[in-house]
C-alpha cells in the first residue's frame, strides 16, 4: 500500500512544485486563475494539522467561510465539528480540512467544472504535502470528482474505496444534513466506521 501511495502521488502531482507549506500558501493566496477571485472576500486555503493522516474535502466556501477565510465555520461547520468530536477528531489537532475550490461561488452555486479544473492543482499540492492515508469527501461535488463521476452519496456513503493506496470515503455534506436531518444517523454511522478504519490503518491520529 505504501508503494501504491507513492505511485498515486507521483501520478496525481506530476506538476507539483512545492516543497513547503509557506510557499504554497503564499502563492495560493494570490491566485487569480478563475473568475471566482473577482467576488471573493477571502480565499479559503484550508485548516488543520499539516501532518494529518486524514483529510476532509468539501465543495467550496459559503458566505461565512468567505467572510472568515476558514472552511466550515457556519451552521454546517458547527454540525461537522459535532460529528468530528463524536469520533475524537478535531480540526485543530488531528485532521486537515480543505475544499474543491478555494473561493466562494456566487450565491453558493456549485463550482463549475472549469473552476474545479483551475483550482484542483492547489488541492493536489496540499495532498502531496500531507500524504493522507484516508480522504473523506464531504458531499457530491468532491466525491464525484475524487472517487467516481457517478458517485451517489445517498447510496454509496460510508464505503471505503481504495485508489492509488489512499482510502476514500464519501459522506453527506453538513449543509445537506441541515436540510435533511433524517440523514444524520446515517452520517454518524459513517463517522463511526471512519473511526474504526483510522484505528486500523493510521499510526498517530489517535
Ligand atoms: S477558486 Fe481556486 S483557481 Fe479560482 S481564483 Fe480561487 S484559488 Fe484560484
Tell the residue nearest (CA) to atom 3 of ligand 1.
119
Tell me the three cell numbers of residue 58: 468539501
Phi and psi at residue 168, in whole multiples of 5°?
A: -105, 140
pLDDT, tens digit, 9 for 90 and up, residues 119-175: 999 999 999 999 999 999 999 999 999 999 999 999 999 999 999 899 999 999 999
Percent of the chain with pLDDT over 90: 90
Residue 147 neighbours by CB distance under 10 Å: 18
Measured in angstroms, how far is the CA atom of residue 65 from the centroid of ligand 1? 15
Query: SS3 letters for 102-136?
Result: CCCCHHHCCCCHHHHHHHHHHHHHHHHHHCCCEEE
The pick from 29, 34, 42, 66 for probing ligand 1's pocket by mutation, whose C-beta has the most ligand atoms within 8 angstroms, reads 34
Q: How confident is the model at residue 15 (pLDDT cuts 50, 70, 90)?
A: low
* Domains of the chain and any CATH numbers: 2-199 (3.40.470.10)
Q: Which residue has the cell 458531499?
A: 139
pLDDT score of 8 more than 80: no
Q: How confident is the model at residue 10 (pLDDT cuts 50, 70, 90)?
A: very low
- Nearest atom within ligand 1 for CA of residue 111: 1
- Nearest atom within ligand 1 for CA of residue 37: 5
Q: What is the pTM of this model?
A: 0.93
Amino acid at each position: 500500500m505504501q508503494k501504491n501511495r507513492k505511485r498515486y502521488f507521483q501520478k496525481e502531482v506530476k506538476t507539483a512544485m512545492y516543497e513547503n507549506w509557506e510557499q504554497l500558501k503564499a502563492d495560493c493566496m494570490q491566485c487569480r486563475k478563475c473568475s471566482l477571485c473577482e467576488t471573493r472576500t477571502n480565499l479559503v486555503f484550508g485548516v488543520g494539522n499539516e501532518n494529518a493522516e486524514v483529510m476532509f474535502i468539501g465543495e467550496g466556501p459559503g458566505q461565512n467561510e468567505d467572510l472568515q477565510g476558514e472552511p466550515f465555520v457556519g451552521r454546517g461547520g458547527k454540525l461537522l465539528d459535532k460529528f468530528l468530536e463524536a469520533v475524537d477528531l478535531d480540526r485543530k489537532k488531528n485532521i486537515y480540512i480543505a475544499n474543491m475550490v478555494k473561493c466562494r461561488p456566487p450565491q453558493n452555486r456549485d463550482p463549475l467544472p472549469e473552476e474545479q479544473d483551475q483550482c484542483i492543482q492547489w488541492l493536489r499540492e496540499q495532498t502531496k504535502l500531507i500524504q493522507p492515508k484516508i480522504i473523506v469527501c464531504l458531499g457530491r461535488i468532491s466525491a464525484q470528482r475524487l472517487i467516481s463521476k457517478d458517485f451517489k452519496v445517498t447510496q454509496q456513503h460510508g464505503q471505503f474505496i481504495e485508489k492509488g493506496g489512499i482510502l476514500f470515503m464519501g459522506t453527506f455534506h453538513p449543509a445537506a444534513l441541515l436540510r435533511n436531518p433524517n440523514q444524520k444517523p446515517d452520517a454518524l454511522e459513517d463517522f463511526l466506521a471512519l473511526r474504526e478504519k483510522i484505528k486500523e490503518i493510521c499510526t498517530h491520529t489517535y
